[in-house]
Structure 1
Amino acid sequence: MSTVLYGIPNCDTIKKAKKWLTDNNVAFTFHDYRKDGIDQAFLLKAEAVLGWEAMLNKRGTTYRQLDDAEKATIDRDKALALLELYPAMIKRPILLNGDSFYIGFKPAQYEGIFC
C-alpha cells in the first residue's frame, strides 16, 4: 500500500507529519503542491471523501487575501477552482494511504492509521 503526504515543505504541520512518519518507519512519498502541482482530478477525489469545507484553509494568508465578496459567495465549485489555482489554500497535510484520505496531523490520528 502506498502512502503519499500532500502539502508544502515549509509548513510546520507538514514537518511534524513527515517527522512522525519517518520516526515510525512509515514509507511515504511527499507531493509538494508548489513543485509538483495539483490537478482537478485529485481535488475531486479528495473532496468526495473529505468535503471542500474541510479542505479549504481559511486561516492561511492566501485565503485571507481574497476580497470579502469572493469569500461570501464561496461554494463547492468556486472552492475547488481556488484550491487548484492556489494550492497553498488547501488545508495541510492531506494524507493518502492506499485509497483512504485523511486531513490534518495529530499523532494519535496517525497512530490509529499506521499502528
Structure 2
Amino acid sequence: MKILFLQYPACSTCQKAKKWLTENNIEFTNRLIVEENPTVEELKVWISRSGLPIKKFFNTSGLVYKELKLSEKLPSMSEEEQIALLATNGKLVKRPLAVTEHLVLVDFKSDEWEKLK
C-alpha cells in the first residue's frame, strides 16, 4: 500500500505520526504541506475518500484560520469555495494527512492509523 504522508515539520502531532509510521515499519512518501499545498483536485478526491465533512480538513486551531475569521465565514461558503480556499495555503489544512488509494486519515489517532498496517 502506497502512503502519501502530508505534514508540517514543526507540528508536534505530525512528528508523533511520523514516528509511529517509522516504528511500525510503514513505508511512506513524505510531503511538506506548506511547501507543496494540496491542489483543488487532490482535496476533492481526498475529502470524498475520507468520508468526512470538509470542515474536518480545516486546521481550526491555526493562526491563518483565526486571522481570516473562518469560523464566521465558512458556514456561508459553498463547498467549492471552501476547497479552493484550502488549496491556497497548506497551513489551513488539518495535518497530518495519510493518503492511500482507498483511505484518507486526517489528524493523528494511532488507533485509526492502525488501518495503514
Indicate the TM-score class for this superposition, using the shorter chain for normalisation.
0.7 to 0.9
CA distance in 1, matches of 2:74, 2:67: 10
Greater CA drift, 16-25 or 61-70: 61-70
CA distance in 2, matches of 1:98, 1:24: 20
TM-score, normalisation: structure 1: 0.86
Task: Identify the residue that residue 24 of structure 2 maps to in structure 1.
Answer: 24
TM-score, normalisation: structure 2: 0.85
For 1:6-45, list aligned pairs within 5 A.
Answer: 6-45=6-45
Match of 2:97 among 94, 98, 105: 94
CA distance in 1, matches of 2:19, 2:101: 20
Task: Identify the residue that residue 62 of structure 2 maps to in structure 1.
Answer: 60
Residues 56 and 79 in structure 1, CA contact (< 8 A), matched pair in contact too = no
Cα offsets for 1:32-63 (capped at 9, x unmatched): 12222321110110121333111112121110
Task: Identify the residue that residue 108 of structure 2 maps to in structure 1.
Answer: 105
Unaligned runs of 5+ in 2: none
Q: RMSD in angstroms over aligned alpha carbons?
A: 1.8
* Residue 44 (structure 2) pairs with residue 47 (structure 1): no
Unaligned runs of 5+ in 1: none
- Number of aligned positions between the proteins: 114
CA distance in 2, matches of 1:67, 1:55: 16
- Report SS of the residue matched to 1:38: coil
The structure carrying a bigger helix percent of its residues is 1
CA distance in 1, matches of 2:100, 2:74: 32
Residues 33 and 91 in structure 2, CA contact (< 8 A), matched pair in contact too = yes
- Report SS of the residue matched to 2:104: strand
The CA deviation at 1:88 is: 0.7
Runs of 4+ in structure 1 off by over 4 angstroms are none
